[in-house]
């Protein structure tokens, strides 16, 4: 009985000191784990930031989101000032979608008509030969021609609107009543072409040879010429009012009934031009060649123009008067 009692006394309850020691051990353990917890938290935060940066750099450029059944590119847009500059650069010459390309081919009417029906909009022709063919009433809307030949080609009643012509040769081509609205002709040889009755609204000729060309009854609202040869051209009734005429050679041209009011000539020539019933009120002629014109022409047709002293002296000198 005594032994049993002693054994039972050995199974005593925890003392107060033991409780305090256990609490201190737990606190010490927390302080030991605290740096590890901080390290893990910092590591997770840094990893999250790196992952987010990676996704922003890679994911935004490569991810495609489907919107209404179509893939939409969500590539980051350029800065606002770059967007504005790009919009300004595209204002004068908007980008056009390119069509099928044809190079170094010679076309006849039937094969070309079939090709135009099948190839869709804005075909591209490079170094192609259309010379001497009757291509009247064909649809060339938005077409691009580079170094092509149209010598003596018939293009009457064709739709050439929004077409682009670069370094082409079309001597004596017939474009009567063609629609060339908003077309661009650059560095091309179109001498002796017939544009009678053609629609040339907002068309532009830059560096084009148009010697002997005919523009009778053409619809020319917004038509612009730059650095072009119009020697001996028939330009009767055209309006150049308030335009800046850069490097235009009107020598021997028929300018009857043309409107040059308030126009500014920058270089160019009116040598021996026919000025019957033309109007030059307010036109600036100080840099244009007026040789070949007589004083009577000035008095009849060039009233109200702005001339240089040298030009006035030359005109008076043609009358046998010496200016000292």
CATH number of this structure's domain 97-218 = 2.160.20.80
The contacts of residue 81 (CB under 8 Å, 6+ apart) are none
pLDDT at residue number 215: 97
Percent of the chain with pLDDT over 90: 57
Same fold, 97-218 and 230-324: yes
pLDDT digits (tens, 9 = 90+) for 152-176: 999 999 999 999 999 999 999 999 9
What whole-number distance in Å separates Cα of residue 234 and Cα of residue 201? 18
Phi, psi angle pair for 297, to nearest 5°: -65, -40
Nearest Cα to Cα of residue 249 among 225, 233, 270: 270
pLDDT digits (tens, 9 = 90+) for 263-306: 999 999 999 999 999 999 999 999 999 988 877 777 788 888 99
pLDDT at 19: 54
Q: Which of 313 and 235 is assigned the larger pLDDT?
A: 235
pLDDT attached to residue 255: 96
Give Cβ neighbours of residue 205 (< 8 Å, ≥ 6 apart): 185, 224, 225, 226, 228
Q: Which whole number is the average pLDDT over 38-48? A: 75
Residue 213's alpha-carbon distances to 84, 153, 177, 240, 305, in angstroms, are 40, 15, 14, 17, 27
pLDDT in tens, 203-231: 999 999 999 999 999 999 999 999 999 99
DSSP 57: I
Bridging pattern class, strands 64-67 and 70-73? antiparallel
pLDDT, averaged across the chain: 81
d(CA 128, CA 104): 5
Domain ranges of the chain: 97-218, 230-324
Please provide the CATH number assigned to the domain covering 230-324: 2.160.20.80
73, β-bridge pairs? 64
> Is 111 a residue whose pLDDT tops 60?
yes
């Amino acid at each position: 009985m005594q032994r049993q009692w002693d054994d039972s006394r050995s199974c005593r309850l925890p003392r107060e000191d033991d409780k305090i020691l256990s609490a201190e051990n737990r606190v010490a353990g927390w302080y030991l784990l605290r740096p590890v917890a901080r390290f893990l938290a910092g590591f997770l935060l840094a990893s999250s930031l790196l992952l987010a940066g990676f996704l922003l750099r890679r994911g935004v450029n490569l991810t495609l989101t489907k919107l209404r059944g179509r893939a939409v590119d969500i590539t980051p847009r350029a800065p606002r000032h770059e967007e504005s500059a790009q919009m300004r650069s595209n204002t004068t010459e908007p980008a056009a979608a390119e069509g099928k390309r044809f190079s170094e081919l010679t076309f006849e009417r039937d094969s070309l008509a079939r090709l135009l029906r099948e190839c869709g909009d804005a075909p591209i022709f490079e170094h192609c030969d259309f010379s001497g063919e009757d291509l009247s009433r064909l649809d060339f809307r938005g077409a691009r021609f580079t170094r092509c030949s149209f010598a003596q080609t018939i293009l009457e009643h064709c739709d050439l609107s929004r077409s682009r012509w670069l370094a082409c040769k079309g001597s004596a081509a017939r474009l009567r009543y063609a629609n060339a609205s908003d077309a661009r002709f650059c560095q091309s040889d179109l001498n002796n072409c017939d544009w009678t009755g053609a629609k040339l609204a907002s068309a532009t000729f830059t560096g084009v040879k148009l010697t002997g060309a005919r523009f009778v009854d053409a619809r020319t609202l917004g038509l612009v010429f730059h650095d072009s040869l119009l020697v001996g051209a028939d330009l009767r009734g055209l309006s150049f009012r308030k335009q800046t005429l850069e490097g235009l050679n009107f020598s021997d041209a028929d300018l009857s009934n043309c409107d040059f009011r308030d126009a500014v000539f920058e270089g160019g020539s009116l040598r021996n031009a026919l000025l019957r019933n033309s109007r030059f009120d307010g036109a600036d002629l100080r840099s244009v060649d007026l040789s070949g014109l007589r004083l009577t022409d000035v008095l009849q047709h060039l009233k109200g123009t702005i001339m240089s002293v040298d030009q006035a002296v030359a005109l008076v000198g043609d009358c046998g008067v010496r200016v000292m």
